[in-house]
Amino acid sequence: MKATLAICLVASISLVLYFGFSGQSRWLHCPECDSILKNSSTRRYTAGDTFGVATSEKTNVSHILFGIGGSVKTWNKRRHYCELWWKPNITRGFVWLDEKPSENQTWPETSPPYRVSEDTSRFKYTCWYGSRSAVRIARIVKESFRLGLENVRWFVMGDDDTVFFTENLVNVLAKYDHNQMYYIGGNSESVEQDVIHSYTMAYGGGGFAISYPLAAELVRVLDGCIDRYASFYGSDQKIQGCMSEIGVPVTKELGFHQIDIRGNPYGLLAAHPVAPLVSLHHLDYVKPMIPNLTRIDSVKKLVSAYKMDPGRTLQHSFCYDLRRNWSVSVSWGYTIQLYPSLVTAKKLEMAFRTFQTWRSRSNGPFTFNTRPMSSDMCERPIIYFLDRVQSVGMGQTLSSYKRSVPEDGQDCYWRDFLPAYAFQFFNVSASTLEPDFWEKAPRRQCCEIINGTDGVGSMVHVKIRGCNHWETVTPP
């Protein structure tokens, strides 16, 4: 009798455990994903999460599959940002739409091809101030994975108003072993956003990258995460919730830019960190980055420089003219600041606070140091913006920057400023950065003023170069 009772008890417990966990196993399992892994000719997968790639080829843009969150209603307004970086037949990926475009809407050949997202009405979404579209966009990585495309090493997510700088993105991702589980991106610039959403999250508008092995794990649990984190505002939060369960932290790269700011982005862009520019987002929510140009035209101007020297774009260099006590700050491909005084490097590398926080529109805090931009023209540098850039052969570029007239037309009439105003242009010569520059320990490059003291015309010539041994930027 006791033996019979024991057998019944064990059987009962087994049934309870089976039915209790069978529901969980359904959302943990992704049959079509398993099929993709087994049938892929370029990978082999074992239960030990070991991925092997059949080639040692260095990562290139063909190894990236982009998943862009879009909407039929907003695409025509935002597609110009995507078309700045998308290269038909070179870049791979899709814009994922909420519905199929109307029959009389011709899909542009210059845009990424589109796919229509699956219906997500079965999922929970309880964030009262958000939008259910977050659920659909969170599932883009899963729907992209299930396509089973060959030779994908990285899934890169972004928004329809995200501008990617793909060569720099490739160089960043190539630093990492794509056979390992990596989750790469950046935080918000506004501390209030990081506090509300997360410091441990890669923000979706700035874009983030997920390696293939991590995507294989993510797609198994994603749908369950979406329901468990139904109160989360954004798709990127829901993705990060899954990452927490998998146990993979975000690897932060400084070149991903959410642009969670309001106002003028000048100060942020003119003080770019020593890292390749990977992405820009939210450009419709800030002023044009170059005065007297539209938002899209100002980005095109920056992209024109990027095409000449991707790795150098927005990179900072400082130099001094000790004869006239000048300090010059160059943000290559974008802007130059001329100070008719000697300013320390510590101050020059700090961003002017030309913007406010994203949510409260206050003066901070931000996730980087800032300094105020005075309304007094005598306490501000003379500012120049990119005019044009050209290749001059032998791996050299020549970029020209033209003085920007203040909006109110006011100048400073201090004695030190008047001679500086005579210079309307800066020319900057530089060698094209080699791709492996960013594989080395980061260091800001140096510069020197070539002809700023000879009074030739109204132009100053600056040369950017690698720093010499023992060289520092130290004013007397």
Q: What are the C-alpha distances in Å from 256 to residues 165, 185, 186?
A: 10, 6, 5
Whether the full predicted model's pTM is greater than 0.75, yes or no, is yes
Reply yes or no on whether the pLDDT at 11 is more than 80. Answer: no
Q: Is residue 456 part of a domain?
A: yes
Reply yes or no on whether the pLDDT at 450 is more than 60. Answer: yes
Average pLDDT over residues 369-374: 95
Average pLDDT over residues 32-59: 54
Q: Looking at residue 318, what is its pLDDT?
A: 94
What is d(CA 295, CA 284) in angstroms, rounded to the nearest whole number?
Answer: 7
| 234 and 317 part of one domain | no
| 248 and 327 part of one domain | no
Reply yes or no on whether the pLDDT at 30 is more than 90. Answer: no
**pLDDT tens column, 75-134:** 999 999 999 999 999 999 999 999 999 988 889 999 999 999 999 999 999 999 999 999
Q: How many domains does the chain have?
A: 2
**pLDDT tens column, 271-300:** 999 999 999 999 999 999 999 999 999 999
Q: Is residue 268 part of a domain?
A: no
Reply yes or no on whether the pLDDT at 9 is more than 80. Answer: no
Q: Looking at residue 307, what is its pLDDT?
A: 97
| 238 and 356 part of one domain | no
344-353: long-range contacts at Cβ-Cβ below 8 A with a sequence spacing of 24 or more?
344/475, 345/318, 345/473, 345/474, 347/371, 348/316, 348/318, 349/271, 349/316, 349/318, 349/444, 350/271, 351/267, 351/268, 351/270, 351/271, 352/266, 352/267, 352/270, 352/271, 353/267
Closest CA to 347 of 298, 380, 312, 315: 380
Q: Is residue 15 part of a domain?
A: no
Q: Is residue 162 part of a domain?
A: yes
Token reading at 312: 């150098």
Q: Return the number of other C-beta atoms located less than 10 Å from residue 464's C-beta.
A: 21
Q: Range of 415's domain?
A: 310-465
CATH number at residue 77: 3.90.550.50
Q: Looking at residue 415, what is its pLDDT?
A: 83
